[in-house]
Each structure stands twice: as structure tokens, then as C-alpha cells.
Amino acid sequence: MEIKILEATGDDQVVADAARVSYDGKGRKSTDDQLIRYLMRHHHMTPFEMINVRVYVEAPIFVFRQWHRHRTFSYNEMSGRYTKFEDEFYRPIGWRKQDGKQTSHDELYDIPKADDLMNEAYRTSYICYQELLQLGIAKEQARIVLPVGMMSKMYASGNLRNWLGFLKLRLDKHAQWEIRECAKMIHDELEKKYPIIMEAWHEYHFESVTLTLAAQCEIRGDEWVGSSGEKAEVAATLAELGLDRILEINKAAEEGLEHPS
């Protein structure tokens, strides 16, 4: 997979200047750093739309399927109707085991049988693709035998607010490893170009945790009603915050027991 940032306009100051127009650049004397952190903290996000970032991506089609769900970007992708696909397929550096319904562990396994199956499927589908083309079948139809591991190319362009939204979702541990890798590459480039913005985003958006009303009740020891799924989510949030002790205290109180601590 390959990502190239083709254009990343402006700098941290562009965002601060855009925000300062609110009061005509007069009066308040906050630094760019203070102002950007204030904007991020209070979710005043339109100044971040003043920056545009355009990237070139080479990735498998299954990554593009996920990426294209982000509707606020502009895209141009290689057309399988006009261009013959090259014999280029995505080969993972290792295999991940299924974990629950959707996700996988990040741990990688070397499974030669899985390599063989993948290579055989890629080889067969590409031979069939070429034979269909040799029969004079149009590229737009011949491609139907190609798998989602086929590599494709695209341009994606959007303002920085869009990219921050993309990164929040696609750097998350729940996102698939492959798109997470793409998101990491973009993130690292944005960090170099917009250090103040990215630091504030980390602090106030990416690393922030939403406390639902149920979680607040749990912390206060108030009663609340929720499904077992929601209870597990609240427990996970409190554990993430290092507050899982509160769950034990509340449980002990419910059962009329004295908490050991």
C-alpha cells in the first residue's frame, strides 16, 4: 500500500487567522496555540475547513470500499472500464484470527496453507480475467471475476476537518488493520505539517472519552437501567479510564457487602 500527500495547504496559522476574523483580528490577544486549542476544545471546527489536503493512494479494493463511505471527500479512482488491471494483488504480511463478530486480533500468524489458498485464488481469477479479455469481452465485464484484494489507485481530497473525522474513525482499534495503516501514514504527515492542530486534536478529540449518562450514573453510584451490552460498554469505558474500582464498589454496595478496600 502506498500513500502520498500531494498537497497540504497552509499551516497552523491559517486556521488561527480564519478564527480571528470573528472579531476582525482585534481585541483578544491569544497566541495561535491557545486559539487552536480553544477551537478544538469547543468543537468550533469550521476554521479547520480552510486547509485542504489531497492524497494519492494505492490500496486493495476492500480498503477503498471502506474509505468511500467517507462521503465528504472528493474522489477519483482508476476505472476498471477503461484500464486493464495489472497483476497486482494485496498480500498481507501475516494472517489474523477472527475475534468476535467483526474484528480480528492484531497478532499475526504465519500460515502457509492460507498463503497457498490466497495465491491460488489470485492466480486463477487473473487467468480468467485475461482469458475473458482475449475473448473480446469488455473490460467492464471481464473484471467481475477479480477479487477485492485487487490493487487499485485513487486520489482523495478534502478539507482538514474531513480528514480529522476520517482519522478519528480509522485510527481507532476497531477499524480494520489495513485502513488503519493508511490512516497512520496520513496522520504522521499531517502531524509534521500542522503540529499545533494535531496536538490539540489528539488531546481534545482523539484521546477524549464520551461519558454517557449511564456511565455518569455508574460513577455516582446512581441506579440506571440498560442492556447487558450497554453494561459491558460502560464497564469497558470505566476500565479504560482506570475507574473500574468504582464498578466493584457499586456492586458491593448493591449486594450489601463492605468493599474490601
Ligand X SMILES: Cc1cc2nc3c(=O)[nH]c(=O)nc-3n(C[C@H](O)[C@H](O)[C@H](O)COP(=O)(O)OP(=O)(O)OC[C@H]3O[C@@H](n4cnc5c(N)ncnc54)[C@H](O)[C@@H]3O)c2cc1C
Pairing of strands 103-104, 52-60: unpaired
Nearest CA-CA partner of 166 in 204, 201, 193, 195: 201
Return the residue of 69, 113, 228, 258 that touches ligand X, per CB under 6 A.
69
Cβ neighbours for 236, distance < 8 A, ≥ 6 positions apart: none
Residues 20, 9: Cα–Cα separation, whole Å = 19
Residue 67 or 85: the one with the smaller Cβ distance to ligand X is: 67
Catalytic entry in 69, 170, 180, 245:
170
Q: Which stretch binds ligand X (CB under 6 A): 28-36, 114-122, 167-175, 199-207?
A: 167-175
**DSSP string covering 50-111:** G-EEEEEEEEEHHHHHHHTT-TTSEEEE--TTTSPPPS-B---SSB--EETTTEE-S--B--
> Per CB under 6 A, does 101 bind ligand X?
no
Is 205 one of the binding residues for ligand X (CB under 6 A)?
no
Alpha helices (runs of H) in 194-227, residue ranges in sequence order? 195-201, 213-220
Q: Is 43 in the site for ligand X (CB under 6 A)?
A: no
- Minimum CB distance to ligand X, residue 62 (Å): 13
From candidates 113, 174, 229, 257, binder to ligand X by CB under 6 A = 174
Q: Is 71 a catalytic residue?
A: no
Q: Does 168 interact with ligand X (rule: CB under 6 A)?
A: no
Number of residues that bind ligand X (CB under 6 A): 8
Q: Which residues bind ligand X (CB under 6 A)?
A: 69-72, 165, 169, 174-175
Q: Which residues are catalytic?
A: 170
